Chain A
């Protein structure tokens, strides 16, 4: 084994890669931009939209209400609600999002209340529309409060305490650390997915360019006529693909740390985290462990990419072989994001899925050392097998001179 020759090939491939715009885009630009866009940009945009909807004063139409002057008067006093006159086409106006909600108060509402008759108040809204839902919440809260006050009055009239209706409270209490629950769990899976995806994406173009691309350009025959052995040649190429995959993963992790650092510093809440009090803190240790777990995975990706693309005659053909691989890799990475999919002994042996599931835990600072050992070892075995296959492919004339 000549490290010198492998080094010569590697240095040359690196020089070429650093002059290739496509490699630089996938290796540097994508990982450095994708996290800020997803976390700071996307998260802040959603937070701003929700905030804006809450700040707005929605228009509310009322159907009926003639027999409910007290209720109507109270509704008019609810802050940030504007009661507008009812129009005949109120339903169309809700559907066309001109009016967010229409409240329907039954006839003789207050008389029925006094007689303790059963009745319903309808809030006609546009389900799923942010503005309509916000307006509905405000109106619903008003009616809930009004109903509670009616109940209290009735109990008081009978000299009964409020606890008659509510003998005890049920209060769920989260004992998981806030940084390891709620939105953080979702983000752990999401980050693992992004790292796995970008790790593959970073190696894709160089792998195709260094094999099928070389065949297409006619440089493969040039290099095969030099004294370097094919094993050294493929190892030099492999190291370059590994470098691009790992650089992409490393930049993803760095970008991830910086982005969430900024998010936390700005006190803006990222996607869905608005529903939980948890803000995501990614420590240096978590980022480093995600990167370490990405190393054998990157070796596996680099070897598989080289093996597949070396079989192709042209860059275009290589692309058509690699695209299905993208789905094969993305699916387990997405599966790892699903709630309820947790690490177990069987899943720890499934390539890609195992690392994704582990990274999900590592990001939130949970270290299952037995799983870390199993997953690291199994991924190393898969990676070694794939590298061996890549070397074998480069020894085959039928592959190198496929026509």
Chain B
């Protein structure tokens, strides 16, 4: 489970002064459910997810992930989280198997467990054909599978996806969305950020709409449709975001 409590992140900029990237955001993600964080570029999605993954430290507020506080027990939080984004690249000079082994070892797996886990994941994701190929020689689809294997190797109960399909072709993106569904079906807590409406409609159990660092609306798709008297998610999004909208270039 993920529980964000008044999560805030401020940055200091020499020219613009203080920037509130995330401002007092609270929400809860339940196991076996997918929480979708929907927002435009620069809305604060990545910063929120980075704080949940303890890559960034909150300026105020906190979050509890699997019972561990992101501020006080960041290493325990990371041991229970699988984090995937298009920014999380692979080590070019390692093979797919070496890369997954590396992250398995960092997650404290012993060698017999690691071997068994890797064989299982590589079979499941159909990766045996390129397990000994260096990551810099892999196709985009192979790289995505290797990234997925990396996040799964320690079988974390919480999965965080930061715009995982951005820039990917349809087939590779489908691999990712299928993987996200599979995570939910296995009872994992899943949160993912996107600005693609169709992905949200297809995948999410709960939707949080974020703009200028603030969580402006939250609920199931049905609840949002009812509340804003609109059927189309894009229209709902615009209705909610328009009054607070600041173009990404302004950030």
Binding site for B on A (CB under 8 A): 5, 8-9, 12, 15-16, 19-20, 217-219, 221-222, 224-229, 397, 401
Contact = CB atoms under 8 A, between A and B. Distances in A.
B56 A401 contact: yes
Given A12-B102, A229-B75, A19 B93 contact: yes
A397 B108 CA distance: 25
A219 B91 CA distance: 6
Contact of A218 (B75, B87, B105, B108): B87
B93 A221 contact: no
Given A15-B93, A19-B93, A397-B57, A218 B106 contact: no
B78 A12 contact: no
A225 B93 contact: no
Contacts of A222: 88-90, 150
Contact of A227 (B57, B75, B94): B75
Contacts of A20: 93
B131 to A, nearest CB: 16
Nearest to B103: A226
Interface string B68-107: 0000000110110101010111111110001000110111
A189 to B, nearest CB: 39
Nearest to A224: B55
Contacts of A225: 53, 55, 78, 81, 83, 88
Interface residues of B, number: 28
Contacts of A5: 106
Interface of B: 53, 55-57, 75-76, 78-79, 81, 83, 85, 87-94, 98, 102-103, 105-108, 134, 150
Contacts of A227: 75-76, 78-79, 106-108
Contacts of A229: 75
A308 B87 CA distance: 23
B44 to A, nearest CB: 15
A217 B92 CA distance: 9
Interface of A (DSSP majority class): helix
A223 to B, nearest CB: 8
Nearest to B53: A225
A9 B94 CA distance: 13
A19 B106 CA distance: 21
B159 to A, nearest CB: 11
Contacts of A218: 87-89
Give the 3 A-B residue pairs with the shortest CB-CB distance, closest first.
A218-B89, A225-B83, A227-B79
Contacts of B93: 15-16, 19-20
A397 B51 CA distance: 12
Question: Which of B53, B83, B91 has most chain A Cβ within 10 Å?
Answer: B91
Contacts of B53: 225
A220 B39 CA distance: 25
A221 B50 CA distance: 9
A219 B89 CA distance: 5
A341 B93 CA distance: 46
Contacts of A219: 88-91
B107 A15 contact: no
A15 B105 CA distance: 15
Nearest to B56: A397
Given A15-B98, A222-B150, A228 B106 contact: yes
A8 B79 contact: no
Given A12-B94, A19-B93, A226-B78, A221 B85 contact: yes
Nearest to B78: A227
A152 to B, nearest CB: 80
B91 A16 contact: yes
A177 B212 CA distance: 78
Query: Which of A219, A222, A225 gathers the greatest number of chain B CB atoms within 10 Å?
Result: A225
Contacts of A221: 55, 85, 87-89
B102 to A, nearest CB: 5
A218 B84 CA distance: 12
Nearest to A397: B56
8 contacts: A12-B91, A16-B94, A19-B93, A217-B92, A219-B89, A226-B106, A226-B107, A397-B56
A222 B148 CA distance: 12
B15 to A, nearest CB: 13
A8 B102 contact: yes
A72 B136 CA distance: 79
B80 to A, nearest CB: 9
A310 to B, nearest CB: 16
A5 B102 CA distance: 10
A264 B87 CA distance: 57
A5 B103 CA distance: 11
A12 B56 CA distance: 24
Nearest to B47: A401
A243 to B, nearest CB: 16
Nearest to B57: A397
Contacts of B81: 225
A9 B108 CA distance: 13
Contacts of B89: 217-219, 221-222
Nearest to A9: B106
A234 to B, nearest CB: 14
Contacts of B55: 221, 224-225
A15 B106 contact: no
B103 to A, nearest CB: 6
Given A12-B94, A225-B78, 10 more contacts: A12-B102, A15-B98, A16-B91, A218-B87, A221-B55, A221-B85, A221-B88, A225-B81, A227-B78, A228-B106
A217 B143 CA distance: 14
Contacts of A9: 106
A397 B106 CA distance: 21
A395 to B, nearest CB: 10
A12 B92 CA distance: 12
A17 to B, nearest CB: 8
A20 B55 CA distance: 28
